[in-house]
Chain A
Amino acid sequence: MQGMSPIVKNMTRLVAGFIALFGIYIVLYGHVTPGGGFAGGVILAGGLALVVLAFGEEFARKALTHEAARTADSIGAVLFLLIALLGYAGGVFFTNLLPAGEVGKLFSAGIIAPCNVAIGIKVGAGLFGVFVALAVFRRAGAGGQTGKIEG
């Protein structure tokens, strides 16, 4: 897939940072306002997909690669499992270890915030990986090639 016109490229350069910031905001404030890990992750993935659409598949093969997406995906998931396993230090699997704080503040609600961050990383990277695999690798696999995704 080719990139788009220079107008779109310039606008994307300006806007992509804000989209990422908005996604991070939704993830971090997940325990105060609606949103949380999944919704923020989808916004992040959308921003990354916008960049790939505007700049073409060369960008996807060099900078925002499929490999990086899958590694970030696994990191997010393992981070979530680590938080759950750390609960064993408090006695039970998945216990709340951090202080609960006051309702409505940013630093409150125990382990929900780190869990949201882990899920945000995973969903963002995972959805972006799905987008790249479906849209960019479209012609890679005709004729009996085994294994679903390269590498």
Chain B
Amino acid sequence: MTNLLKTRFRSCLLTTGLLATGAVAMSAMVQAQPAPGGGTLRTMINSDLRSTDPGVNRDLNSDAITMHMLEGLVAYRENLTVGPMLAQKVDLSADGTTYTFTLRDGVTFHNGKTLTSDDVLFAWKRYLDPATQWRCLSEFDGKGAAKVLDMQAPDPKTFVIKIERPSALFLGQLARIDCGGSAIYHRDSIGADGKWATPIGTGPYQWGEWRRGQSVELTRFPGYTSLEGKPDGLTGGKIAMAEKLRFIVIPESASAKAALYSGAIDVRPDFASRDLDEVKGRADIKTSTHPTMETNGILFQVNEPIVKDVRIRRAISMAINREELIDTVTFGLTKPVNSMVPLASPFSGPVQKAAWKRDIPGARKLLAEAGYKGEPIKMIVTKRFMSLFDGAVFVQSMAKEAGINIELEVLEWAAQLDLYSKGTYQSMFFSFSARLDAALSFEMITGPKAIQTRKVWNDPAAQALISEAMIVSDVAKRQALFDQLHMKFMDELPMIPLWNSVDIAAWRSNVTGYTTWAASMPRLWNVSIR
């Protein structure tokens, strides 16, 4: 399990000038240049906060809110490599099993207490306690990326984790946003009853007021100790420019749009691509876009009738005019992706990028060979993700031209997810959240169906290739493995990848400093409002 993330890890040490052998203490006390202002920056969430317990009872909205209050030892950078956050450096022992985190000086919690390794140990003990129900526990208890054997706090500035075997995925898992970034919080965050109470973290904003069903408000933490330099992903210099952040619950995207236009909110993350055209002419709305590693496409359950014939799956793929479809659905924001490897991945090479052409006669020929006579093929889709729904409507229409009878079944998200988990459907339009390594991208669809019903690619040979790609660290060798996987994948086609999502945000012209990025998580520090 030494691979890309290891390289990333090394590069993180290099770029901060903190090599494992001779670390130089660095001052983290420097206040970054722009001065914090006043005002309330209002943005939206599409459902209420679930809880502020990091990586436990959470969803994307909860992650977005807690990330402004809580920070972990390491965090994702803008380019999705892992960089130090609360740790000023991370040393890895020669045998690759002992991580030594040296904490930054002068970091204080929202309650004024200074961060020590004891706090780190406390938080980590709670994470690894099964009773906490941390979503990422399986990555650290030996089932997934690593097995933690021991944790220690030998002195107030040092925290040591010992794992069973070297694992290149370790730091990457630590930074995972859905895991709450393994955030370090003060023990007073836990109430007297042993349950999570209020988040007391080290972030630029602190807990304010929660009006359930309406809004969550965070206020500036005046004692925030920022890292030096520019903001960089979820790490780097952070300044709470706006005095308050308000996350308003707006479940309907049409209402959210109206709210932005009328000035009821200032920033609308997750803006719909279909609305971009319409705001181009408006002086009061600004937008920005950035490609992400989220993969959208059509999943097939290859045991189900009709779609079990690979010729049918290929015919569907050949019926799609990818360029036109993706150009329309994403409003020209991105190109088709033909592989499980996202376009933004360094492993998206010539093999993965080879263009697929629309071929209606070819599709008809395949259909004839397969003896297809217009039997309906059910395709599940949800209206929750509009570009996905748009894509499905166009795919249905394109497939019709090749004589393929796709019946769309629009379900609400929970019902679709249920079918996804159970693996009981013919085909569905689905969106996979970003996996930050190509091996993980393949892993999310591959596996033994008998045990993991949600998997669609039940191929031991592919499984072996993926496992190998997780171990090999040589870039060229990995590329060769991914090329091989891609060809095999194309051959069997358990999924038709179509495009990688684009992070789109829109904000009112009195807002400055908002940026979109590959992890598409809204960041409201360093964003000011006039």
Is A bound to B?
A: no
